[in-house]
A = this chain, B = another copy of it.
Amino acid sequence: MAPAARRAARPAPRAAVPTLSDVAAKAAVDVSTASRVLRGEQGQRVRDETRARILAAADALGYRANPVARALRTARTHTLGIAVPQLDNPVFAAAIAGAERVAAARGYALLISHLEDALPAKDAYARLAQLNRVDGLLAATLEEDAPFAEALAEAGVPFVALNRVLPGACSVALDNLAAARVAIDHLVSLGHRRIAHLAGRVGGWNGQGRLAGWRAALKAHGIRHDPELVEHAGYTASGGAAAMAALLARVRTRPTAVLAATLVSAAGALRTLRQAGLAVPGDISVVALHDGPVAELVEPQLTTVALPAEAMGAAGAEALIAMIEGGATSAAATLLPPGGLVRRASTGPAPER
């Protein structure tokens, strides 16, 4: 199979890419005519014969419009930016995948930018330097980045907040209340009434929402929420383990079930429970928000509530493109309903007392 692979180093292999004027020349028309035909605009008055000639020439040359030149002229790059705080987080990875899918389908490219930490508004402006190369931005930021949002708004850059609701900005986020409700409904249906909550990041939008959801769902079932049953676990395994340990050490009456705000913290909690000699779900049931491959790797496999991370990215991209193309800056917030309960082995009937 020796034939094709041959890769010259010297002669600057970059083939001259045909331009519009090449096409126009070959078809013996003006570039403007060629442009109109190739852009396929309706209502253009071009004779069929001419049109065919241009299309043939373009095809023969393998012409592709130069996006850069087009962007300069039209002031539209057909590129979306997505800024995420962490690339390794599966939730953001999924969101990126969703955004990429929609972007590609709509003819947009996706530029990705990693926003290490909470960025000082200053940095936000620095990032803005890059922003004239995108038509809009998907901002999947973690917390009090009002400055960031304001910088964007001020600069007139269309953007949508992802993974949280930002008042006044178009936002696409997860419906944490509904998600918590699904989890609690499940536990209650199994007979649980004393249900603890391993909360997520304090101050984070999702963390707050899930905590609120836990409370509201309990209330809906006529269960008074016991503040003692909340422990902040963050979103790491060690955080989950530590929080579970703290909870067990602190409470008088052990809860019969736990709602963990994140999958990974639930996995950590499982470790603590195992070490404490408690059976899951025999002694205590565990359910986590967010589904993922990890749920099947732990022992026992975790019952979860699937959350639409991919769809969140996709919906964000849709909304952003709508803003860009429609021109209207909507400030509507979209809450994506949970995908449903994924029942596995970590939940079971409440133990008899």
Interfacial residues, chain A to chain B (CB-CB below 8 A): 4-9, 12-15, 17, 64, 66-69, 71-72, 77, 79, 87-88, 90, 93-94, 96-97, 100-101, 104, 109-114, 128-130, 132-133, 146, 149-150, 153-157, 167-169, 237, 264, 267-268, 271, 274, 293-294, 296-299, 327-331
How distant is A242 from chain B, measured CB to nearest CB, in Å?
14
Does B7 contact A329, Cβ atoms closer than 8 Å? Answer: yes
Q: Given known contacts A13-B329, A71-B68, A72-B69, is B93 in contact with A87 (CB within 8 Å)?
A: yes
How distant is A67 from chain B, measured CB to nearest CB, in Å?
5
By Cβ-Cβ distance, the 10 closest A-B pairs, closest first, are A14-B156, A87-B97, A13-B156, A267-B297, A67-B133, A299-B299, A68-B71, A100-B114, A15-B156, A64-B129
How distant is A167 from chain B, measured CB to nearest CB, in Å?
7
Residues of B within 8 Å of A156, CB to CB, are 12-15
How distant is A84 from chain B, measured CB to nearest CB, in Å?
10
Q: Given known contacts A87-B97, A88-B93, is B168 in contact with A5 (CB within 8 Å)?
A: yes
How distant is A277 from chain B, measured CB to nearest CB, in Å?
14
How distant is A139 from chain B, measured CB to nearest CB, in Å?
14
Taken together as a complex, chains A and B put the C-alpha atoms of A267 and B295 apart, in Å, by 12
Does B9 contact A329, Cβ atoms closer than 8 Å? Answer: yes
Secondary structure call for the A interface: mixed
Find A298's partner among B9, B114, B297 (CB 8 Å cutoff).
B297
How distant is A114 from chain B, measured CB to nearest CB, in Å?
5
Taken together as a complex, chains A and B put the C-alpha atoms of A182 and B109 apart, in Å, by 41
Q: Given known contacts A68-B133, A132-B64, A132-B66, is B101 in contact with A114 (CB within 8 Å)?
A: yes
Does B5 contact A167, Cβ atoms closer than 8 Å? Answer: yes
- Residue of A68, A94, A96, A156 with most chain B CB atoms under a 10 A cut-off: A68
How distant is A291 from chain B, measured CB to nearest CB, in Å?
12
Does A130 contact B109, Cβ atoms closer than 8 Å? Answer: yes
Does A297 contact B264, Cβ atoms closer than 8 Å? Answer: yes
Residues of B within 8 Å of A150, CB to CB, are 4-5
- Residue of A71, A167, A328 with most chain B CB atoms under a 10 A cut-off: A71
Does B293 contact A7, Cβ atoms closer than 8 Å? Answer: no
Find A169's partner among B7, B112, B268, B297 (CB 8 Å cutoff).
B7
Residues of B within 8 Å of A90, CB to CB, are 88, 90, 93
Find A96's partner among B66, B87, B157, B329 (CB 8 Å cutoff).
B87
8 contacts between A and B (CB under 8 A): A4-B150, A67-B132, A68-B72, A68-B132, A87-B100, A101-B114, A237-B293, A268-B297
Which residue on chain B has the smallest CB distance to residue A267?
B297
Residues of B within 8 Å of A132, CB to CB, are 17, 64, 66-68
Q: Given known contacts A72-B72, A297-B298, is B109 in contact with A133 (CB within 8 Å)?
A: yes
Residues of B within 8 Å of A129, CB to CB, are 64
Does A15 contact B96, Cβ atoms closer than 8 Å? Answer: no
